[in-house]
Amino acid sequence: MNEYRIKGLSCAGCAQRIEDEMKQLEHGEDTTISYNSGKLKVNPDISMPEVNRILKSDGAYISEQLNKQINTHDHQHEGHDHDHEHSHEHDHEHGDGNKMLKLLITSGVIYIAAILLDGVLANWSVIILYLAATVISGYTTFFRGLKNLTKLKFNIDTLMTIALIGAIAIGEWKEATLVAILFGLNELLEGYGMEKARRSMEVLLQVAPKEAIKLANGQENIVPISSLQVGDLVKIKPGEKIPSDGVVLEGKSSVNEAAITGESLPLEKETGEPVFGGSINNEGLLIVRIEKAYNDSSLAKILHLVQEAQETKTPTELFINKFAKYYTPLIMIVAALVTLVPPLLFQGSWTTWLYQGLSVLIVGCPCALILSSPIAIVSGITRNAKNGILVKGGVFLEQLGKIDTLAFDKTGTLTKGEPHVAQLENYDQERFLQVAGAIEKSSSHPLAKAIMKELADRNITAPDPDEIETITGRGIRAIVKGEPYWLGNEKSIEHITIPEPIQKQINLFKNDGLTLVVVADEHQVLGIFGIADEVRPESKSVIASLHKLGIKDTVMLTGDHQKTAEKIASAVGVTRFFGGLLPEDKVNHIKDLSSKGIVAMIGDGINDAPALASAQLGIAMGKGTDSAIETADIVLMQDHLGKLPAAVSVAKRVNRVIRFNIIVALGLKIIALLLTIPGWLTLWIAILSDMGATIFVTLVSLTILIEGNKEKI
């Protein structure tokens, strides 16, 4: 499929009409147009002159082709051409908007002149002025509407065209002109509103660097990032963006990863540490080895997901679009009844009730209703993406705002997933820590790392062991300085009798949910490590914030034993917890919770994939891991839960705004329609109610983009 950027789409309904027309073309059955993102996807074999003709009929045009093949050996010329094209597109877009604005201003001036000259000039002269103003501001709508009428297609343009013809037919020149001007202004402002939301998204997508300094054979070459391969070395100067995911080979610097994680504070990076494409190198010089080609990088996947998210339609949007499809013909029937029933049955004036019927047509325009959702959805996705929260589509954003139950994995989600020594008992001051260090120093086991970190914090240097032997299911036997020692669980010290005080301490550690590592010689216990998974510092406040946001049930699901689960659950404040669970047990719990409410599951996206898939909404965390991005519906790019309440808050706000917009759009129309009963509805009231509702819902939707110091609950 070829993909194009479209400019000049006047409304969501018009975009749908264009899509329907293109689908009638040869090879056009797979054509899609997204009003939200302004994109057109067509079969490469479709007739592009015909596509352009259909677009032109609505005043739209192709501004650029998005899926161009990049010629790597001609990148410098291409980069120049791309900038020129972007500049031309920018000028074209502004030119279109400015042209429409100038036409409306000209039309407005002529309209005012006609009003002032009414009674001064001959009547036919004033009519010509009104007609000129109407043609200048409304000719595109008029021609589109006539075309629709010949095909018996009824949409916004059709309604406006019938209203204009009817108003002119009964001699209401002044009001016919006002309808044309205000409808043109309405379309202009509607387009500006959607474009504002799109531009906010486009600014977000501009974080990707275009070029990189590649090091090869002692030479530096500027190459496009698309040409970078795994293993290439790149040089990143202070202030430059890192081109793709990699590892620091040389240098030390602070790096701003806000583009990936939404975190504003920079992180210190040095040799051996990973970096993400799109991050900004602050002050030092870095040499980075590329670990992923750009197309496979975290940044590329993020940008692709964000772009795709704009193009999905929520259940609310789909309902509104379906509703509008039947709503427009219904309004025409109502207008016909308003026009015909009073004169035929109640001796009403044909002119008066034709005028009222025309007003009903204008009130019935579904512009505001159709716009109730898309701008709010795009704004919400953009707002969350700026915070490092990837929502894969509007449907998931809408769902996030409706959840009442949130299930958490424990390890790596509520806890850091890194064991640390929580407590220790030392029964032999000289040997305990040194022997433990000697045995564990060469091990890569997480428990060994926790013990070695504790020794490092205490500045203890351990000797090298003489021999090491692993005993499966128990621990390690080692010879240190010629003496035998054992390190491991309780089973590893079955060769000695444990004194009652030490056994009591072991039981206390176990009751606290700690993992035991015991060190002993041939005759006695030298000491005990009580190791635990450290609770993330933000977990408790995050759970409290989620409860305030209306999440009634927070549930922790873990494979750890019940005592450990109880301790962590108490520390973080979840409402319920379940321990000792296998992956299939987690799935069963999620299904049970889903039968009672709307459930989101949050985990690391690897071990929790089945549970994430079983929940109505899967949320993965972790700094852009491939599995997290691929598995979940929503991805927290940070390595913590801190941004989760903000994401829920934005989602709830989007849902509130959509509901509010629908109420306003329909409410204003109902009020205006009720004015037909006493015969008070006029064309200018009708167009102002429709225009006012459209502008109002657009502005309300755009407020979602405004960053506040704190999200309102």
Q: Is 91 annotated in the active site?
A: no
The dihedral through the CA atoms of 590, 594, 599, 605 has a sign that is positive
- Is residue 411 classed as helix, strand or coil in its secondary structure? helix
The answer to whether the beta carbons of residues 435 and 485 sit under 8 Å apart is yes
- CA-based max dimension of the chain: 121
Q: How far apart are the first and last CA of the chain?
A: 43
Exposed / middle / buried, residue 570 (Cβ in 10 Å: 0-12, 13-18, 19+): exposed
Report the DSSP pairing between strands 483-488 and 515-520.
Answer: antiparallel
The answer to whether the beta carbons of residues 619 and 633 sit under 8 Å apart is yes
CB atoms within 10 A of CB 376: 33
The answer to whether the beta carbons of residues 558 and 579 sit under 8 Å apart is yes
Distance CA 329, CA 322 (A): 12
The answer to whether the beta carbons of residues 360 and 673 sit under 8 Å apart is yes
DSSP string across 466-499: SEEEEETTTEEEEEETTEEEEEESGGGGTTSPPP
Report the DSSP pairing between strands 39-42 and 2-7.
Answer: antiparallel
The answer to whether the beta carbons of residues 576 and 429 sit under 8 Å apart is no
Catalytic residue among 157, 409, 533, 604: 409
Helices (H), 248-366: 258-261, 298-311, 315-346, 350-363
Distance CA 380, CA 701 (A): 9
CB atoms within 10 A of CB 544: 14
- Bridge partners for 408 per DSSP: 556, 602
- Bridge partners for 697 per DSSP: none
Distance CA 567, CA 546 (A): 20
- Is residue 643 classed as helix, strand or coil in its secondary structure? coil
Which positions are annotated as active-site residues? 409
